[in-house]
Each structure stands twice: as C-alpha cells, then as structure tokens.
C-alpha cells in the first residue's frame, strides 16, 4: 500500500517551535532584566539612606555650631568617615544632567562648609549649613523621584515581557487545541470507526501535518474497505462453493445409500435420474444399459440428442452401459455426474452379485429339500407299497381286509405320485431371481399336476424381494396352491400380489372350490403350520378366510423398499 503525502502549506511543528522559541527568548530577557535590576533598588535605597545620614549629620553640625563649636571637627570627621558624598551623588539612567549639576553644586557647597569649619568661621558655617540642609532635602526628594521612575520602568518592562509570554502561551494553547487536539480527536474517532468496519467517516481537512496524516489514513481506510469487500466476496463465493459441494456430497451419499439398500429396479433408477437432473441442472438424461434396457428420466431420454454427452458406466473394467445427458448450459457438474455413474456402476455390480447369491440360495434349498424328500419320504412310500403287496397276498380270500389293503395301496401310490411331482418341481431349474418370473416358473410346474387353471390375476409392477423373502414367499404360495389342488376340488386358482397405499404387500391365493372345513384344518394342520412358520419369519400376518365360494389364503407384511425423496 502506497500513501502519497502532500507537503503542508504551513507546518505545525514550525509554528510550535517558533512560538516556543519566542517564549524562551522573552523569558531569557526577563531573567536578564531581573538579574540586571536586582541590585538597583538596594543601591537607590542605600543612596537615599546615606543622604538622610548626611542630612542628620548636617543637623548635628548645626547644633554643634550653635552650642558646642569645639565638636565640629570631630563630627565632620565622623561624617566624612561614614559617608562618601562623591559616590552618593553619581547617577545614571534617564537624562539626569540637571540632577548631576545639583549634585556637583552640593559637593562644592560641602567643601566650602568643610573649609569654613576648619577656619572656625561659625557664623558663615551656620548659614551655609542651613542652605546645605535645604539642598540635601531637595536632592533626597529628587533621588526618590528618580528611584520611582526606575522602578516604574522595570515594572513596565516586566509587565511587557509577561504580556508577550502570556500572549505566546495563549496563542500556543488555542492553536494546539484547534489545529492539533481537535483534529487528532476526530482522527482517533475515525480510527475507532474503521476498527468497527465503519468506513463512511469524514477526515479533517487541514493543510498541515494532521491533514497529511488524515489523507494517509483516509487512503488506508479506502484500501482496507476495498480489501474487506474483496475478502467478503471471496468468502461468499467460497461459501457458495462449499454449500454446493456439501449438497453434492449429500446428494451422492443419499444416492449411494439408496442404490445400495434396495433392489435396483427401473423406478429406483428413474427417481435417481430425476434427482441427478435437478442437482446438475440437466435438460435430458437417461441410462442405456448393455442388456438393452433404457431408463428414462421425467425430462426424457438424451440418446437421440446431437449434443448429448455419454459417460460409460464401468466398474472393475466391466462395462454396464452409458449415462446419456444434455446440460442446460456449460456446467461444472462433470465430477458430480461421473461420481453418479460410478455409484450406479457399483450398484449394478452389487445387484448382479446379489442375484447370483439369490440363485445359489434357491438352488441349494431346492436341492436340500429334494434330497431330504427322496432319502426319507420317497423310500418310506416305496417300502409301504412293497408291504401292501405282501400283505395283500397274505390275506388272500378275506374280502374286507383285501379292500382295506387296496385302499391303503391306492393312497400310498397317490402319495408317491405327488411326491415324485414335488421332487420334479424342486429339481426344476429356475434361473430367474426376479420374484414374478420365479412365480411363473413355479406355477408352470404345478399346472401339470392339476386340471384346475392356475392364473396370476394381479401383480404389483414394482414389487421386488430379497433372497430370504424370495424363498419364503414362493414356498408359502406353493403350499397354498397344493392344498387347493388336493382338497378344494376347484376349477380355478387365482394368485394376486398388490402393494397398498400404506406400503404393505398383500399376497393372496384364492380358489373357487368347496372351501375348507374345521376338520380339514385339523387334518392338514401340518401344511398350515409350515405356512404359518414361514409367515412369522417374514414378519407377516397370515389369515385363512372362508369365501362364499372357495377359500382365500392371505399374507400381509410391510414393504421395506424405499425410494429417493424428491425435492
């Protein structure tokens, strides 16, 4: 930051220095004046006192001349010894020519008196002493007047010096108050305002050092204001960028959580594409998978657009398809879209692994059930058939026993046929892990066992299951169909699977047979117990309802599939 300070038209420092110098000079003159005139009053007082002594000596001379003339020489010697008239009568200052002439005349007159005393001319001495006394009185008065003039002059000079110092001090006080204190106070207030980020302040405009300093602070304030505004803009931009990044991360987290927690279906991908279009400001977007599936968004497919952008969906070097989109404008959401395709690729990969695991579980359970049935029940039924044949030979000729054995043999033969059919059903390969496809395959296998028509009446388009639900539901439906085939004597068996508005799944198997009675429930309670056990494992409610014609087996459980929340 560069601040260009203008040279002031007048300098505060020069004014203060010159005024202070003037005060020092006048003070020095005053001190010298005081020191020079310090002895003058004492000198004048001593001179006046000596003149008074001279006057008193003159009085003594007059008295001695009248009454004790013999004392005159001694008194004269005493006066001469104490006083030096020649020094008393010298004067300087002012125009004292006449005063000095009188003083010289007085000295001459003193010499005459002294000679007359020495000549013992007492009559002349008395006359001269009287005149001399009058002259001394007159000189004392003039000397006093001269001393007062001197003191008045000294007082005037001192007063003049005091006035000069006082004026200089007052000038310096008011000048400093107006030109220094007030601007500095205003400048300090402005600095405090600037510290509080209030930059709309008025700086003092003086053509001196304060003005130059104010100009510099004003320039600094403007530059600080500019810097703060720039920083605020940068912080605002960074905040917007961070908020956008946070929304992007939150969006990707929700998409990742959604695609990894539910079965990857077209509706789920449809909602995910709509969320991506809203987040990345896309006009069209769709998924083009390698299996020939197209999943469009609500905005339409971008595959036929000339300005589309294609991003491959690849995970572990395996391609699954492309994400095609058209942006509304040149956007900076390329990284978001790439991250989205990565999440979709991982979800497809996980879905593929899940399907494979589900197929393996189905095949394993089917193999286990078929093996157990073959190893236990099938062998037992074969043994019973052999025993019935032997028993039939042993009771030959007993009509009633032979009839009973024939019924038992027929029942065992029928059970054996049903078991073989059941084993064929379990050993049937069901490559589809999709629940509807697996249900159709199972129905096809059961249809050959009965003349009744088995149909799927209603099936929710978006119903999908996980591996555990898949197995339990198929076994429950199969058991219900077999019960209807065996006991209902029906002509039609209808299977329905719907999803209610409360996100619950209703699965029902309805036959138009003769219905089930209480004794039938007790007789076949083992099959119903198996259905009830599987329903409990699903967390479902199982009900067996007698209809006006036929029976309904209904299974109700909550649908755990969740969709993306649309903004």
Three-state secondary structure readout of 456-490: EEEECCCCCCCHHHHHHHHHHHHHHHHHHHHHHCC
Both tokens of residue 437?
A: 């496809």
CATH topology for the 246-348 domain: Beta-Lactamase (3.30.450)
- What pLDDT is recorded for position 555? 92
Tokens 């030109």 map to which residue?
A: 179
Spatial CA neighbour of 282 closest among 337, 241, 240, 344: 337
- What pLDDT is recorded for position 23? 83
Domain boundaries, given as residue ranges, for the chain? 12-191, 246-348, 431-567
- Going residue by residue through the chain, which has 567 residues, state the pLDDT in tens, using 9 for 90 and above: 444 444 445 677 777 788 888 888 888 877 776 666 544 555 667 767 777 877 788 888 888 888 888 888 888 788 777 655 444 444 455 556 666 677 777 778 888 888 888 887 777 877 888 888 888 788 778 777 877 877 787 788 888 888 888 888 888 888 788 777 777 777 777 778 777 777 777 777 777 777 777 777 777 777 888 888 888 889 998 888 888 888 888 888 888 777 777 767 778 888 888 888 888 888 888 888 876 677 888 887 777 777 788 888 888 777 888 888 888 776 667 788 888 888 888 887 777 777 666 666 666 666 666 666 655 666 676 777 777 777 777 776 677 777 777 777 777 776 766 666 555 555 544 444 577 888 888 888 888 888 899 999 888 766 767 666 777 888 889 888 888 888 888 999 999 999 887 778 899 999 998 876 654 444 445 567 778 888 888 888 999 888 888 899 999 988 754 333 333
How many whole angstroms from its chain centre is CA 36?
78
Reduced to 3 states, what is the DSSP secondary structure of residue 496?
strand
Show the 3-state SS of 84-137: CHHHHCCCCCCCCHHHHHHHHHHHHHHHHHHHHHHCCCHHHHHHHHHHHHHHHH
What's the order of all strands across the beta sheet hosting 294-296? Answer: 294-296, 282-289, 318-327, 309-315
- What pLDDT is recorded for position 3? 44
Output DSSP code: residue 180: I
Please provide residue 500's backbone torsions phi and psi, each rounded to the nearest 5 degrees. Answer: -80, 170
* 265-272: long-range pairs with CB below 8 Å, 24+: 265/462, 265/464, 266/293, 266/295, 267/462, 267/563, 268/563, 268/564, 269/295, 269/344, 270/295, 270/296, 270/297, 270/298, 271/563, 271/564, 271/566, 272/340, 272/344, 272/564
- Beta strand pairing call for 453-459 and 492-499: parallel
Spatial CA neighbour of 495 closest among 547, 552, 549, 410: 552
Q: Which pTM was predicted?
A: 0.39
Output DSSP code: residue 291: T
- What pLDDT is recorded for position 496? 93
Give the containing element (helix H, strand E) for 493: strand 492-499
Both tokens of residue 420?
A: 């073989």
Domain 431-567 has CATH 3.90.1640.10: no
Tokens 């439906």 map to which residue?
A: 477
Both tokens of residue 521?
A: 């429930």
Rounded Cα distance, 84 and 107, in Å: 10
DSSP string covering 360-382, please? HHHHHHHHHHHHHIIIIIIHHHH
Tokens 């309904």 map to which residue?
A: 552
- What pLDDT is recorded for position 88? 44
């Amino acid at each position: 930051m560069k601040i260009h300070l203008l040279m002031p038209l007048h300098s505060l420092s020069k004014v203060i220095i010159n005024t202070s110098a003037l005060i020092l000079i006048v003070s020095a003159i005053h001190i010298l004046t005081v020191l020079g005139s310090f002895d003058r009053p004492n000198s004048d007082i001593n001179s006046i006192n000596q003149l008074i002594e001279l006057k008193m000596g003159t009085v003594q001379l007059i008295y001695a001349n009248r009454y004790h003339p013999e004392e005159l020489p001694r008194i004269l010697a005493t006066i001469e010894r104490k006083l030096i008239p020649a020094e008393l009568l010298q004067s300087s200052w002012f125009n004292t020519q006449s005063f000095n002439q009188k003083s010289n005349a007085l000295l001459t007159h003193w010499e005459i008196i002294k000679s007359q005393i020495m000549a013992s001319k007492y009559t002349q001495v008395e006359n001269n002493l009287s005149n001399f006394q009058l002259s001394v009185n007159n000189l004392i008065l003039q000397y006093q007047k001269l001393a007062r003039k001197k003191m008045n002059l000294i007082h005037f000079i001192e007063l003049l010096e005091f006035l000069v110092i006082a004026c200089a001090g007052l000038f310096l006080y008011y000048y400093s108050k107006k030109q220094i204190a007030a601007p500095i106070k205003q400048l300090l207030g402005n600095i405090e305002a600037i510290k509080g980020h209030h930059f709309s302040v008025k700086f003092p405009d003086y053509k001196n050092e304060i003005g130059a300093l104010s100009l510099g602070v004003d320039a600094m304030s403007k530059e600080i204001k500019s810097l703060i505004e720039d920083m605020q803009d940068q912080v605002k931009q960074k905040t917007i960028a961070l908020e956008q990044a946070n929304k992007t991360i939150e969006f990707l987290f929700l998409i990742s959580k959604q695609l990894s927690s539910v079965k990857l279906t077209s509706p789920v991908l449809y909602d995910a594409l709509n969320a991506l279009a809203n987040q990345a400001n896309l006009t069209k977007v769709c998924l083009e998978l390698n299996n020939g599936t197209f999943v469009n968004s609500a905005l339409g497919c971008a595959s036929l657009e000339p300005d589309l952008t294609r991003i491959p969906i690849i995970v572990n070097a395996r391609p699954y398809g492309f994400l095609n989109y058209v942006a509304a404008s040149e956007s900076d959401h390329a990284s978001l879209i790439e991250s989205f395709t990565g999440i979709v690729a991982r979800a497809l990969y996980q879905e593929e692994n899940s399907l494979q695991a589900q197929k393996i579980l189905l095949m394993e359970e089917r193999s286990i059930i078929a093996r157990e049935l073959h190893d236990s029940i099938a062998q037992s039924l074969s043994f019973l058939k052999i025993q019935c044949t032997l028993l039939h030979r042993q009771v030959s000729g007993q009509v009633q026993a032979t009839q009973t054995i024939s019924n038992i043999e027929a029942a065992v033969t029928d059970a054996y046929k049903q078991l073989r059919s059941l084993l064929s059903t379990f050993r049937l390969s069901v490559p589809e892990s999709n629940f509807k496809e697996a249900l159709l395959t199972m129905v096809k296998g059961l249809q050959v066992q009965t003349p009744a028509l088995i149909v799927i009446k209603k099936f929710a388009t978006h119903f999908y299951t996980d591996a555990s639900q898949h197995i339990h539901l198929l076994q429950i439906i199969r058991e219900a169909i077999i019960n209807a085939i065996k006991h209902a004597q029906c002509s039609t068996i209808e299977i329905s699977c719907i999803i209610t508005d409360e996100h619950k799944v209703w699965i029902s198997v309805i036959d138009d047979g003769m219905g089930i009675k209480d004794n039938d429930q007790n007789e076949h309670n083992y099959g119903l117990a198996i259905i009830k056990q599987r329903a409990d494992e699903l967390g479902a409610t199982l009900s067996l309802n007698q209809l006006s014609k036929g029976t309904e087996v209904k299974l109700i459980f909550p649908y755990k599939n969740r969709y993306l929340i649309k903004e």
